[in-house]
Amino acid sequence: MFRSPDPFKGQKYESIKKDCIKRGQPFVDPEFQPNNKSLFYSKVDSDIEWKRPGELCKVPRLVVEGVTTDDLNQGELGNVWFVTACTSLAHLPKLWQKVVPNHKEQDWGPESEYAGIFHFHFWRYGCWVDVVVDDLLPTKNGKLVFCHSKNKNEFWSALLEKAYAKLYGDYETLKTGYPADALVDFTGGVAEKLDLMQYGVRQNEDDKMEFFEELLDASENSSLIIATISCPQSDVGQSGRQGLMKGYGYGVTAVKKISVNKGLQAATGSGTLLMLRLNNPWGTQEWTGAWSDQSEEWKNLSEAEKKKLGLTFQNEGEFWMCLGDFIHYFENVDMCHFVNTSFFSLKKTWYESLMPGEWTQGARGSPQNRSGGAFHNKDSFLNNPQFVFDIKEDTDTAMISLEQDDKRADKKIGGEHLQIGFHIMKVEENRKYRVHIPGEKCAETDFKQSRNIYGKYVLRRGRYVIIPSTYNPGSVGKFLLRLYTGANSSSNIRELTKEGPERSCCICIKQPQIVLTITIIKARDLEKRDKDKSPGEPNPYVEIKCEGETVKAPIKKNTAVPEWGTMATFYLKKPDTPIIVDIFNHKTLLDEFIGQATIPDLGTMEGEEKEYDLFGKSKKEKKEGTKYPGSLRVRLQSSYDLTDL
């Protein structure tokens, strides 16, 4: 949490600055030199001159009269996605100060302290990096070529863009991208990208409401939300329908669900308004449709009612839209979620786990063969990296982000993002080796040629395996898997690397002979055994015991016919020794035993279901075969190949 950013390319800001001041020479960055290689990978522009801010104005400053969206004007590069993300920073001072650290100390001061060096912080795959740059900037005819402020002596946006270009190799690489990706680099948040054309919100009312609730939850948790209208690069910035501008990102600054008065209900035909407030950071041009500044809808509300409902404007360029118009006119929504991992917070908190990994090619069956492609590649899918985690509550929400190593820096050699996705399956409660036969599928994402894939799921208690993969087998690359679960229970996520139990070289140690998976399906006709015969049904749970290992199934409340679906896998050294399943009734002070099933069978490779009567477990009861009320139904599957199950 308190780790300092790592110096990018090993360049340490403080030591470089001190050395430059000592030598009396401004910094010239050897890692990002003022030449065409730092500008473009596909062309040459001999008209560009690299100049320092002091050559462009008399009194250069990092910030002039505060950080505003006026500081952000895209130049010849056309990297509207990057500039859009920067506008979100401009609205949030704390985030801006995270990216631009100690900006007052960095600013131009006495000539004796000027070193021509600045630094910025970016989040890269699990850690923050500190990127230093010199202040030599691309110009033509004495003017900045790329991102710049309206104020000619303000340079924070131009220097930030240069540091970001250095992070990715050159300026041209920043020509295309997604605002969500830049926001992740600026904040360390989790990106979610929604294509409303594919999301179904325009056709299905339930999907529409689910989408609104997601926006509302994101807004209430201070997520950054940006909406855009897709268009060809040549049309970016052109006026579209109802005053909206094509290709530009609009920030969603508020999401409201509002109960309205009778007058407004009669005018709108609904007692509830689903409203979004948007901000156009590119100027004063605004939406001209329903709920625009001068529209008829506002006449049904007094100023007091507007204030009471929260329908207020905070900045010039802000406007309101109803949900229906929003999903009709906008096509893409990028969100950057800030996940609260603080244990000292009154808000919902999450437990964060970061798992770096890699898709690699290697000999078949080797640990280096970890790129099996998507699920439909039946023969190779399970060769992918596998990560196991636990849900310890009855139900819990899991947020998962799969982020691949950014390929933008490889554009000059034709590099592109891989098509990536992930698959979640429920496995045995005691699973500790790699999965070789697919388990119960719980969720699966679409595969996209995107830097990250995001999913949010409600999972029941148990053990799960996440399999991140590329769409095509044999694709290679690095990735970061981020998992967020309820903060009160760590998920214990870890990578599964072993194929099965290791065989000992010692001949005196008995080796596993068979692998068996038992699924506790259900019990029926269970009865309490307490003498006072307390009212209500039992609260049963089971303990599966095999060769010194115990696996416990969760408590099922107030039922004589519980259903579990709990699975456990055992590697049997003594296949002739039966598995024992004890059933207990959970009580406040002391749990009571209500029956035991002895399972001598191994099942088949395909699996078979069997039902067993319950008996007592004392020596006397076992000897006499004392039968208890109820029975237990299980599924048994086994193989002599220890990697089969």
Q: Are 360 and 368 a contacting pair, CB within 8 Å?
A: yes
Q: Tell me the residue type at 504.
A: S
Q: For residue 298, how many C-alpha atoms fall within 13 Å in the half-sphere facing its CB? A: 17
Q: Are 392 and 489 a contacting pair, CB within 8 Å?
A: yes
Element (H, E) at 17: helix 13-23
Determine the straight-line distance between the first and last CA of the chain, rounded to whole angstroms. 40
Which of 151, 204, 279, 280 is catalytic? The answer is: 280
Cβ atoms within 10 Å of 489's Cβ, excluding its own: 13
In DSSP terms, 584 is beta-bridged to: 541, 593
For residue 227, give the nearest of 209, 211, 205 by alpha carbon. Answer: 211
Strand order in the sheet with 137-140: 49-51, 137-140, 143-144
Under DSSP, the state recorded for 61 is B
Distance CA 444, CA 425 (A): 9
- Contacting residues for 391 by C-beta, under 8 A, at least 6 apart: 398, 459, 460, 461, 462, 463, 464, 485, 489, 491
Across 55-66, b (16+ Cβ under 10 Å) vs e yields ebeeebbbbbee
Across 527-544, b (16+ Cβ under 10 Å) vs e yields bbeeeeeeeebbbbbbeb
Q: Are 528 and 538 a contacting pair, CB within 8 Å?
A: yes
Distance CA 344, CA 342 (A): 5
**What would the DSSP string read from start to end of 435-496?**
-SS--EEEEEPPPBSSSEEEEEEEEEEEEEEEEEEESSTT--EEEEEEEEEETTS----EEE
**What would the DSSP string read from start to end of 181-214?**
HHHHHHH--EEEEEEHHHHSTTT-HHHHHHHHHH
Cβ atoms within 10 Å of 561's Cβ, excluding its own: 13
Across 166-184, b (16+ Cβ under 10 Å) vs e yields bbbbbbbbbbebbbbbbbb
383 an active-site residue?
no
**Residues labelled as active-site residues:** 280
